[in-house]
Chain A
Amino acid sequence: MKQSNVIWVVVMLLAGVYLSWRAVSYQAGAVYVAPKIVADADSGKSFTTWSKVPSVESSNPGVEISWPRTLGIWLSALFTLAIFSFLFGDNVVYKVAESIFVGSSAAYAMVVGFWSAFMGIFVAQLAPQFSQNTFMPGDDRTEPEWLMLIPLAMGIMFLWRLMPAGGWISRWPLAFFIAVFAGLRLVSHFEADFVVQIKSTILPLIVFAEDGAFDLKTSLWNSTMVLGTLCCLTYFFFSVEHTGVVGKISRVGIYLLMITFGVGFALTVMSRYSLLIGRMNFLLKDWLNLG
């Protein structure tokens, strides 16, 4: 084994020993909850809710450890470490964590979509009596919304592609959705990203303040905006050869684009660090009770 690998194995073992000691001695990841009795004005009944309290209040009367929440913290921490293990190379622990993440995310989105859209909108409107008797007791709709039969038919047509024959039927609802979203996006992009953007670039290059004095700052700002936009557009204008004056203007456009890419890249680095800091904060404070 390479010397560097030996060092890292030792470091990892020491970290494991520390974590085990921390878990036993300081109840790492332990979540304490306190009960609160809430009265429901409508039904006249009361029920108990449990809210998280700081670990320093663990000895207060009524406060007890919440095993499901504690298990959640531990699972979350171990999966975070499993994903971090990719820093040492691709490995089976990382692959398992990645697969579980993908699977659980898809399942979560499906369940939320099922209850929010299928049951909450579709079934509730098409069969209000059924929904009131089962999952939406507070709903006071009485008449079915028969227009919901149209999305029902389209949904069935969508699923028809799973049938051995007549797969082409699924193309009709697909064509409908493509047309709707293409239309929606065309209009919104044209207005928000084209017309209004052009309007935003039509600015006075020389600006005077209300008292008649020359406003140097705004003038410079507006000039940079207008000239910068024109330089960048010139770079993407390929009908004229980029030589002479046009070449110089397009060169300025390239520099401006490079600055923009640099800013974008720096913002991305900041963004990624923020995510790492968020996870480190969770590991150090929520899990290990440090700091």
Chain B
Amino acid sequence: MDKFWNSLANLDRRWLFALTFLAISIPLLTGIVLPQKVTPMVENVFNAIDELPSGTKILMPLDYDPSAEGELQPMADAFIRHAAQKKHKLYFLTIWPTGVAMIQRQVATLKKEYPEYVYGEDYVNLGYRPGYEGVIKLITSDLPKLYGSDQQGTPVAKIPMMAGIDSIKQFPLIVNVSAGDPGLKQWVQYAATPFDSIEIVGGTTGVQASTLYPYIPNQMIGMIAGIKPAAEYEKLMFEKYPEIEKRPNSNMANVFMTSQEVAHFMLIAIIILGNVVMWQTGGRRDQS
């Protein structure tokens, strides 16, 4: 028996990598989706978009890059589909240079799934502007000063949906998806906190979440932090708009979450097993 415990104590860590690979891959390949229970915070975020009258102007800063795509793309997709389903007017921008490509992905989704959405009338891509949080600070008072043209260089004066937009205080809601600083924290600090008229909901990585929870509910309506609440958001969306569920890749957060849950079970089992091995071997490890 000692030999068994010793072999476990000296297990090559690459077997654990292989196990992780299997734990993640099998749910992805089989397409199994485990049920999710919707939490009140996700419900608040969903209602913030859903209860707005159709055609409301929503500012959508997408401040993330491909390195956070695995975690943030499903929630960004869900936000876009939900907002488009409600026929809201979408204003995309980013304060991350690499966010431009992320906006282009969302624009591609809109073009494919909502062909009735017309550029310049229903959505606009204002692109990237440098200046970190300085950008947010400036557009709370004068948006055209910084965004004189859209991503393609078209003057905002020639974009119908930009008519009459002087500052972001005219947007009833900001929906931000962010992977770090500058991001959701700065949108709360520079836009939502000083101006009572600006409401914000966000999607962010699990890593950032604990620093952002204190802003809820007084400075931020709610937040989707990581893939779990994103899966809950999809569930709410499918319940209210079943037609979205039929679209390809519309349930990515749920598929990813199932892989996540299997991986978590595996991780918990490994932690328990590791402690049992430690207890059985007295902490000895063959160094040879």
Contacts and interface: CB of A to CB of B under 8 A. Distances in A.
Given A112-B128, A139-B149, A196-B218, A277 B207 contact: no
B287 interface: no
A133 B73 CA distance: 38
A278 B154 CA distance: 35
B83 interface: no
Interface string B1-41: 00000000000101001101100110011110000000000
Q: Main SS of chain A's interface residues?
A: helix
A191 B210 contact: no
A68 to B, nearest CB: 16
Nearest to B31: A291
A267 B209 contact: yes
A112 B256 CA distance: 31
B127 interface: yes
B255 to A, nearest CB: 8
A124 B70 contact: no
Interface residues of B, number: 67
B273 interface: no
B71 interface: yes
Given A274-B227, A279-B70, A105 B209 contact: no
Nearest to A275: B70
A4 interface: yes
Nearest to B20: A276
B155 A139 contact: yes
Contacts of A290: 29
A284 interface: yes
A192 B130 contact: no
B164 interface: no
Contacts of B73: 278
Interface string B183-206: 000101110011000000000011
A8 B264 CA distance: 25
Given A188-B133, A270-B260, A274-B71, A138 B154 contact: yes
A277 B153 contact: no
Given A88-B14, A136-B153, A117 B130 contact: yes
Interface string B35-73: 000000000000000000000000000000001111101
A226 B187 CA distance: 26
A97 B11 CA distance: 29
A217 to B, nearest CB: 12
B196 to A, nearest CB: 11
User: Considering residues A54, A121, A269, A271, which has the most beta carbons from chain B within 10 angstroms of its beta carbon?
Assistant: A271
B251 interface: no
A98 to B, nearest CB: 13
B98 A285 contact: no
Nearest to A89: B14
Given A116-B127, A139-B153, A277-B70, A192 B219 contact: yes
A109 interface: yes
A67 interface: no
Interface string A257-278: 0001001100111110111111
Interface of B: 12, 14, 17-18, 20-21, 24-25, 28-31, 67-71, 73, 97-98, 100, 108, 111-112, 127-130, 133-134, 137, 146, 148-149, 153-155, 157-158, 186, 188-190, 193-194, 205-207, 209-210, 214-215, 218-219, 225-228, 248, 252, 255-256, 259-260, 263-264, 267
Given A108-B97, A112-B98, 16 more contacts: A87-B17, A113-B128, A120-B149, A120-B153, A121-B148, A136-B149, A137-B153, A139-B155, A140-B158, A184-B134, A185-B133, A188-B137, A192-B193, A196-B218, A264-B209, A278-B71
